[in-house]
Chain A
Amino acid sequence: GAGVSQSPSNKVTEKGKDVELRCDPISGHTALYWYRQRLGQGLEFLIYFQGNSAPDKSGLPSDRFSAERTGESVSTLTIQRTQQEDSAVYLCASSLVKPNTQYFGPGTRLTVL
């Protein structure tokens, strides 16, 4: 079946603007995750959604970052008042509860000028 999809694939924005990144998980996957990958580095956990439970937001770097998920479907990551240090690839993953192997989307490359 279809994998995790993300849009847009690339986003260039100006400092101070808001951006929205979208993730469509694999159908039937109840868990959804957002990660950030800065150039030449590993992935940093941002946020995790599981069903109707309260999301785990412990990885969000500041209050400019927020995310929502509609039921067990699409998720949107919003970055307000973007800064140059927000430039990175933002990756989404989804999984079943068990086994919890995470499957990753292709990512959105965000460049803040």
Chain B
Amino acid sequence: AQSVTQLDSHVSVSEGTPVLLRCNYSSSYSPSLFWYVQHPNKGLQLLLKYTSAATLVKGINGFEAEFKKSETSFHLTKPSAHMSDAAEYFCVVSDQGAQKLVFGQGTRLTINP
């Protein structure tokens, strides 16, 4: 069975400093992995996805994530935080070819001026 663990429920960083949101997954097969962002009172937006191509995946708004099979991790990073990055971030897994997404509990990112 698939599962996702987001290791931090809340991360707070200063504007201009790096962001790291941690995610570990469990999957029986080759997984597809995603990061979604949810701004207050807005819908979920896809940031990036990994589907067995390059292990370093670049997404929108300067975010990227690295798939590390040996560590079963898919951490999300950004070199320099911006105030507009404040939102809830979800790490998501699905088995290759499967349709169901399994969501982590979310990490709330706060950006301090």
Contact = CB atoms under 8 A, between A and B. Distances in A.
Interface string B73-108: 000000000000000001000100001111111100
A9 to B, nearest CB: 10
B46 interface: yes
Given A101-B49, A104-B43, A42 B99 contact: no
Interface in A60-113: 91, 93, 95, 99-107
A1 B62 CA distance: 24
Interface residues of B, number: 21
A82 B102 CA distance: 25
B44 interface: yes
A42 B43 contact: no
Interface in A1-50: 3-4, 31, 33, 35, 40-45, 48, 50
Task: Sort chain A's interface into a size bin.
Answer: 20 to 34
A101 B51 CA distance: 10
28 contacts: A3-B43, A4-B43, A31-B99, A33-B99, A35-B101, A40-B106, A41-B106, A42-B105, A42-B106, A43-B90, A43-B101, A43-B103, A45-B100, A45-B101, A50-B99, A56-B100, A59-B100, A93-B44, A95-B99, A99-B51, A100-B32, A100-B99, A101-B34, A101-B46, A102-B101, A104-B44, A106-B43, A107-B43
